[in-house]
Amino acid sequence: MAASSASSSAADPAAALDALVAAKGPLASSAAAQRDDAIERFEANLEQARAEIQEANAAECARAEADGLSAPLLRRLRLDGRHYDGMLASLRALRALPDPIGGVFDESEQPSGITTARMRVPLGVICFIYESRPAVTADGAALCVKSGNAAILRGGKEALQSNLLIAAQMDRALKEAGLPAAVAMLPTADRAPLDAILADPRIDMVIPRGGPGLVRKVKETARCMVLAHLDGNCHVYVAASADLAMARRIAVNAKIGNPSTCNAAESLLVHEDAAAALLPPLAAELAAKGVVLRGCEATRALLGDAAEAAAEEDWGREYLDLVLSCKIVPDTAAAIAWINRYGSHHTDCIVSGDAAEQQRFCREVDSSSVLVNTSTRFADGYEYGLGAETGISTGKFHARGPVGLEGLTTAKWVVRSAGAVRE
C-alpha cells in the first residue's frame, strides 16, 4: 500500500507545498477538457482499485470500532458499496458541470478606449481538512482539479490508509491526463505538520469539513481565508400576517426533516398576535413527532407543561436533535434583532403574507440565506442549483451561504487595448 500511495503522500509538508505551488501555473492554464479527463480517469482508477480500497476501509472500520470510535464517526468512516457508488456518482456529476475558470464577464469599453473585463481564475492552493469520511478525499481532490486549484488534503487518522489509496488514484489520473501532481495528502499521525500548513502563506484557502471543534480550531489557527460555518442556529419566524397552516408545515419540516443537519431549525419565533392560534396545535404536532419544546415565559403561559422552560443559553444553541426553542416576540423588528443577536448567520426564514415585511426581513437579517415562506431545509448547494457543494459559509466575504465551484475561484481584472497610454 505504501508504494502505491507514496507520490500523493506529503511526508514533508513544506516540500509538498513547493510542488503544489509549482503546479499552479500549468493548472490555471490547462484546458477544461484536460481537467475533466483527469477526473474521468480518477473515476476509472477508483473503479479498478475498488476492492483494495474497500478492504483497507473495512480493516480501518474494524480497528476504529475496536478503539471505541463514536457511532456517528464510525458511520462516516464506512465506505461500503453504496457509499462507494455515491462517491463515483458525485465525481461524474462534478465532471459534467461547466468549466468554472477562464470565463470572462463584465466586459466593458471605457471612454479612454481600453476594454476592461473580469476573468475567473483558480485561487491557487486549497487545503481541505476533514474528519473520518474518506469520500471527502475524492470529493475535495476532484473539486480542486475541476476548478484548476492545487489541493492539500488532511483527513482523519482513522481513515489514513483509505485516504492515501484514494489520493493515489487521483495522482495517477493527473499523470495520465498530462497534468502536474496537484493533489497531496498529509499524513495525519501528528498535529505539527497541519499547523505548519495552516500558517503557510502559500495556502490560499482552508476548507474545514467537520464538527464545530474542528472548525473553531482551524479558524483560530489559519492565517488565510477559511470557508466554513461554525454552526447553524436557524430560525423560523412566524409573522402576524402568516398563513398559519403554511407556518406549521414549514416549522415541522424545518425541525424534523433532518435534525442533524446544519440547516435544521433550532428556534421558532412567533409574533404575539399569531401565538395563540399557532402554538397549541403546532406544539401538539411536534410533540407527536418526538420534539421537545423549550419556551420563553409567554410560550409556557400559553402551552403550560407542553413546553419546558428555556434557559438563556438555549437561544444560541444548535441542538442537532429533536429539540426546538420557542420565543414569542412583539413585532418583526424584535424578531430581526433577536435573530441577529442569537443566530449564527446561517439560514433564517420568515413566514409572512406581507411583502413589505418580507422585504425588511430580507434586507436586515444578517444571514447568508434568508428564506421567505420556505423551509430552512432548502439551504443547500444542490437545492440552490450549484451542482456541487464545497461547503456553507457564514462569513460575509468571498462566498456566502452554500458554495459551489465558484467559491474555489476568484476574479482578476483583465484590461486590453492597442497600446493605450494614460495622459
Q: Give the binding site for its own copies (CB under 8 A).
A: 24-25, 28-29, 102, 108, 110, 112, 114, 116, 119, 121, 123-124, 204, 225, 243, 246, 249-250, 252-254, 257, 333, 336-337, 340, 351, 360, 362-364, 366-375, 377-379, 383-385, 396-398, 400-402, 410-422
Contact 279, 384 (CB under 8 A): no
Which one, 102 or 280, has the nearer CB to its own copies?
A: 102
**Complex with its own copies: residue 162 or 344, whichever CB lies closer:** 344
* 329 three-state secondary structure: strand
Dist. CA 51–CA 73, nearest whole Å:
22
Name residues whose C-beta falls within 8 Å of residue 402's C-beta, 6 or more positions apart in sequence.
369, 379, 380, 381, 383, 384, 386, 389, 392
User: Please, which residue, 68 or 419, has the CB nearer to its own copies?
Assistant: 419
Query: By C-beta, is 158 or 357 nearer to its own copies?
Result: 357
- The upper half-sphere exposure of residue 393, i.e. CA atoms within 13 Å in the direction of its Cβ, equals 20
| Of 145 and 165, CB closest to its own copies | 145
* Residues whose CB falls within 8 Å of the CB of residue 125, separated by 6 or more in sequence, listed in order: 17, 20, 21, 24, 149, 150, 151, 152, 202, 203, 204
Q: Rounded to the nearest whole angstrom, what is the least distance from the CB of residue 143 to its own copies in the complex?
A: 17
Residue number with CB closer to its own copies (61 or 399): 399
Q: For the chain, how many residues are written?
A: 423
Q: Least distance in Å: CB of 25 to its own copies? A: 5
Q: How far is the CB of 168 from its own copies (least distance, A)?
A: 28
96: helix, coil or strand?
Answer: coil
Considering the complex, what minimum distance in angstroms separates the CB of residue 187 from its own copies? 28
Query: Nine-digit cell at 238?
Result: 412566524
Minimum Å gap between C-beta 99 and its own copies is: 12
Could you give the count of Cα atoms lying within 13 Å of 34 in the half-sphere of its Cβ?
15
* Cβ–Cβ < 8 Å for 141, 27: no
